[in-house]
Amino acid sequence: MKIRLNIQWKLTLWTGALLALVIGGISALAISRQKTALIEEIQKRGFSMAETLAGSVAEGIITDDVDSVKHTVDSLMREDYVVYAVVLDKEGRVMMHADLEEVGKVYKDPLTLDSIRAESPYVKEYALSPKQSVFDITAPIRSGAERLGTIRLGYSKKAIEGSVSKIKKQILGIAFAAVFVSFFGAVLLARAIVAPVKTLTEAVRLVLLEGTLRRRVNISTKDEIGELADAFNKMTDSLRLSADKLISARDYAANVVNSMADSIIVANPDGTIKMVNAAAEDLLGCKEGELAGKPAKIIFAEENELFKGVWFEQLLKEGSFRDYDSAYRTKDGGKIPVSFSASVLRDRDGGLEGIVCIGHDMREILRLQERLAQSEKLSAVGQLAAGVAHEINNPIGVILGFAQGAVSRLKEDDPYALPLRSIEREATRCKNLVRNLLLFSRQTAPRTELLDVDAVIGEALLLVRTQSKFKSVELVQELGSGGRIQGDKTQVQQVVLTLCNNAIDAMPEGGRLTVRTRREEKPGEPRIVLEVQDTGTGIKDSARNRLFEPFFTTKEPGKGTGLGLALAHEIITKHCGTIEVVSTAGKGATFTVSLPVV
């Protein structure tokens, strides 16, 4: 198991170890010097004592005063560390010894021989016994120039080493105390040094953990740590300002992207979605973050080659393309036509970083194009209708006049009554058709007045209610707009009657007809919305785009002229309104009319 030490303990241990090593070295050196100094001191003292006593012994030898020599030897034995004291004559015979049994013996050992030949004092270490070593100090005994003998003093090395041991213990005790004090001081020093470092470390850790750059370090020392703390505070201040600017720029960019009406999709080089803006999420019916990481192809209604093959090669080569007609697939399976543009996103080194795609919702433009095409058709048909109506209006009037005159003079049982009445009925029908054509083609502004929408529609529904009861259709009124418009009352009611009659005809087996109004608040353009909803057979997809074309009808031959919805569309357009239809075959239809509020 690996032990991890923090910087305080490392500093403490290294400082303590260094101090212990230094103190230990100093202590060892002190002990060695003390030992050397003690031995030198003893040897000096021995030399001095030997020379002094050599003079005293010389006098006793000359006067043959054995007691004096004996007294001198005994006095020597009372000295510290002295093991033996020997007085030798010139031949090495023992003249006096601490041990009287040695007196008279002649020593022939090498040490003795060296001693009696020595002309000056010297010291030599030798083993007195297997367990004891001594320092043998030799000094010649002279009387004038004559040598009388030799004095030898033996100093116990063990006794000296005992003294040295005491000194050693004292020094080691002082050393241990110094190491302890030094270690304690090292702890305090390390703590004093590491404390601000720990404060800085904790501040950095919290910055990394919390991600906040508002934390400051309060260290007011005038040393390098204080300078480091001041640099840290300045760094966090600078980073905070930079981060605030970066966040502000990011939020601004994100706000710009999410405020765009067009959908923006950013894809990775592998074709996965990296991010989308709010418009794209709303358009596709997805929640925030729901598309990230998914293949970009899931948002297209048809399989495409945008991220592979020829399209991708073209995109990489040219860098962008514009106005590619495609379609989005919504989350619920719907299809939205879009005009699609894409451009390559590269990093600083020119490498492919992704693809930025912008899709413009084309539904409104397509609706406007359809309305424009419809208006152009209606304009052409209107011009044609005006010419035809004027051409046939007079002949129809003549036919109807003679037919009505003839019918008025016929009896009930007259065989020409049925043909003439048929001529009158069909001529009247032609006259109404011509009147509608003239109304459809009329380009003059309607006779407008301030209209209460709910009241005008309510009056029109009085005429619808009788027909609805006859056809087993339940009429439901939900008139609650409470608004007014500027318009032609007769024409507005004609639109309501046309829509309601068509709805009733679409329910041959009965059903429910709902007519509702409401106010729709749009920024700067409040509107009144009229909805006519039925539960009939619905409208097929193939017929829905042609509903407002003149002379187009889904009714059986002889039951419709195909001018009702075309005329309604013309009236609503002249009132600056719009009309739309939503229908599914077999599930009814809903016509929605929107008119500006006064």
What the chain holds in terms of domains, given with CATH numbers, is 7-164 (3.30.450.20), 212-259 (no CATH), 260-361 (3.30.450.20), 367-441 (1.10.287.130), 449-596 (3.30.565.10)
pLDDT of residue 480: 87
Q: What is the pLDDT of residues 45-72, one digit of tens each?
A: 667 777 777 777 777 777 767 777 787 7
Q: Out of 66-80, 105-119, 136-150, 252-266, pick the least confident.
A: 66-80
pLDDT of residue 439: 59
Model confidence at 528, pLDDT cuts 50, 70, 90, reads: very high
| CA pair distance 197, 232, nearest whole angstrom | 12
- Measuring CA to CA, how many Å separate 392 from each of 199, 207, 382, 424, 559? 103, 91, 15, 16, 22
User: Which burial class, exposed, middle or buried, applies to 532 when counting CB atoms under 10 A from its CB (0-12, 13-18, 19+)?
Assistant: buried
Given a cut of 60, is residue 569 above it in pLDDT? yes
pLDDT of residue 529: 94
pTM to 2 decimals? 0.41
Model confidence at 476, pLDDT cuts 50, 70, 90, reads: very high
| CA pair distance 258, 381, nearest whole angstrom | 45
Model confidence at 1, pLDDT cuts 50, 70, 90, reads: very low
Place of tokens 């923006």: 264
Given a cut of 50, is residue 444 above it in pLDDT? no
Given a cut of 80, is residue 102 above it in pLDDT? yes
Tell me the mean pLDDT in the region 26-50. 70
| CA pair distance 185, 575, nearest whole angstrom | 98
User: Which burial class, exposed, middle or buried, applies to 228 when counting CB atoms under 10 A from its CB (0-12, 13-18, 19+)?
Assistant: middle
Q: Out of 70-74, 117-121, 309-313, pick the least confident.
A: 309-313
Tell me which residue of 37, 265, 53, 16 sits closest to 153, measured CA to CA: 53
Q: Out of 204-213, 375-384, 562-571, pick the least confident.
A: 375-384
C-alpha R_g of the chain: 64
Q: What is the pLDDT of residues 482-496, one digit of tens each?
A: 889 999 888 898 899
Element (H, E) at 541: helix 541-544
Give yes or no for a contact between 515 and 461, defined as CB atoms under 8 angstroms apart: yes
Cβ within 8 Å of residue 474, ≥6 positions away: 468, 510, 511, 512, 513
Q: What does DSSP assign to residue 213?
A: S
Tell me the mean pLDDT in the region 84-102. 84
522: helix, strand or coil: coil
Tell me which residue of 278, 274, 251, 250 sits closest to 262, measured CA to CA: 278
CA angle 57, 58, 64 (to 5 degrees): 85
DSSP 491-508: HHHHHHHHHHHHHHHT-T
| CA pair distance 362, 366, nearest whole angstrom | 6
Model confidence at 556, pLDDT cuts 50, 70, 90, reads: low
Q: What is the pLDDT of residues 207-241, one digit of tens each?
A: 777 666 666 677 767 677 777 777 777 887 787 78
Cβ within 8 Å of residue 118, ≥6 positions away: 138, 140, 150
Tell me the mean pLDDT in the region 560-576. 80
454 or 117, which is more confident: 454
- Measuring CA to CA, how many Å separate 255 from each of 259, 275, 367? 6, 14, 30
Mean pLDDT for the chain overall = 78
pLDDT of residue 386: 61
Given a cut of 90, is residue 532 above it in pLDDT? yes
Give yes or no for a contact between 244 and 251, defined as CB atoms under 8 angstroms apart: no
Model confidence at 372, pLDDT cuts 50, 70, 90, reads: low
Given a cut of 90, is residue 533 above it in pLDDT? yes
pLDDT of residue 391: 64
304: helix, strand or coil: coil
**pLDDT > 70: what percent of the chain?**
78
592 or 116, which is more confident: 592
pLDDT of residue 559: 57
Model confidence at 3, pLDDT cuts 50, 70, 90, reads: very low
12 or 585, which is more confident: 585
Q: 152-169 b/e with 16+ CB inside 10 Å = b?
A: bbbbbbebbeebbeebbe
pLDDT of residue 443: 46
pLDDT of residue 517: 94
Tell me the mean pLDDT in the region 393-404. 75
Give yes or no for a contact between 381 and 567, defined as CB atoms under 8 angstroms apart: no
Q: Out of 206-210, 328-332, 426-430, 563-567, pick the least confident.
A: 206-210
| CA pair distance 591, 582, nearest whole angstrom | 7
**pLDDT > 90: what percent of the chain?**
9
319: helix, strand or coil: coil
Given a cut of 60, is residue 304 above it in pLDDT? no
